[in-house]
Amino acid sequence: MILVSVIIPAYNSESTIQATLDSVRAQSYTQLEIIVIDDGSQDSTVEIVASVAKLDARIRWFSYPNAGPAIARNRGIEKATGDFLSFMDADDLWTTDKIEEQLAQLKKRPEAGLAYSFVDWIDGSDEFLRPGSHVKANGYALEKLLVRNFIDNGSNVLIRRDVISAVGKFNPQLPPSEDWDMWLRIAALYQFACIPKVQVLYRVLPTSLSSNVKKLSHTNLAVLDEFFSHHPDLKVKLGTQAYADRYRYFTFKSIEGAPSRQNGWLALKFFFKAVSLEPAWWIKRIKLVLIVLIKASFFTLVPTQARAS
């Protein structure tokens, strides 16, 4: 059977790592090696992983000083021996058929370098929050991926090992956007295979790197700038649409969490930038415009003591 390497970077993940490991161990495709990269955790993450590893010989774990998720993933790639690699954040979950169905698609379609599934968002209690992009893109998907990161998160994909050898590892300068950067580099050379059903549950926590909207916006835009610098023809064709989508995403990301003045002002900044780039998109959604403006304005005005409660 084909060996699949599942790489899990973990940093202070004691509250979620057990459920994540259980999710991987429960996969219907069993020929796995499960590689946990402890990224300098200061809680009981390592102890939990070690206790689970005693029950499942497929689990190997390695501890390093904290260096961030991109370097942790790269360290996992170096330790992996499988012909196919999948990445899993230490707080996300998979349905039991995720690896089996993605691998079947890649075996059936040798021209595809990456398989992905649909994603839904959950909270810290495993409760459904909202659906992900649910975009079906088989074949060459670069243009769709440029205007919207429909893969949604780093726990989604299954990749042929030789594909990573061809495009390079994760860029450690880009967290929390290093995964989108990697998918774009793959999409520039290889086809995608989609499993059009939800198989990934992406957990949204206040401590998630993606919750830092300011940093997320900086690195997302850096990904686009870098990619378009190498593909100026695509910038001419899709640049406005791609940047407008990112600014819309930053707007919604800024107002989806707990109220804060910073996020309120960021939401307004991103909103007006998005409107300036693609006003027609918003004209068709006047109700959404009002919701964004009301919520963003509230964030900027709510007193500090009310926010703390």
* Torsion angles phi and psi, residue 202, rounded to 5: -95, 115
Render pLDDT for 195-252 as a digit per residue (tens, 0 to 9): 999 999 999 876 665 568 999 999 999 999 999 999 999 999 999 999 999 999 999 9
Structure token digits, residue 154: 């780093």
Kindly report the number of other CB atoms within 10 A of residue 205's CB atom: 14
Q: Averaged over 119-133, what is the pLDDT? A: 94
pTM of the model: 0.92
Read off the pLDDT of residues 217-228 as tens digits, 9 standing for 90 and up. Answer: 999 999 999 999
Enumerate residues 6+ apart whose C-beta is below 8 A from 119: 132, 133, 134, 151, 152, 153, 156, 198, 200, 201, 202
Q: Is the dihedral of CA 174, 118, 188, 238 positive or negative?
A: negative
Q: Could you tell me how far CA 139 lies from the centroid of its own chain? A: 21
Name the residue with higher pLDDT: 186 or 211. 186
Instruction: Tokens for 264, please give them.
Output: 């309120």
Q: Where are the domains of the chain?
A: 4-210, 212-308
Contact by Cβ (8 Å): 169, 196: no
Determine the Cα–Cα distance for residues 230 and 239; give it in Å rounded to an integer. 13
Please count the CA atoms within 13 angstroms of the CA of 27 that sit on its side-chain side. Answer: 27
CATH architecture for the domain at 4-210: Alpha-Beta Complex (3.90)
In whole angstroms, give the CA distance from residue 157 to residue 134.
Answer: 14
How far apart are the C-alpha atoms of 34 and 79, rounded to whole Å?
10
Write the pLDDT tens digit of every residue in 155-174: 999 999 999 999 999 999 99
HEC string for 109-132? CCCEEEEEEEEEEECCCCCEEEEC
Neighbouring CB atoms inside 10 A of 207's CB total: 12
DSSP 3-state of 85: strand
What six digits make up the tokens of 6? Answer: 């599942």
pLDDT of 83 higher than 90: yes
Confidence of residue 129 (pLDDT cuts 50, 70, 90): very high
Rounded to whole angstroms, the Cα distance separating 85 from 4 reads 6
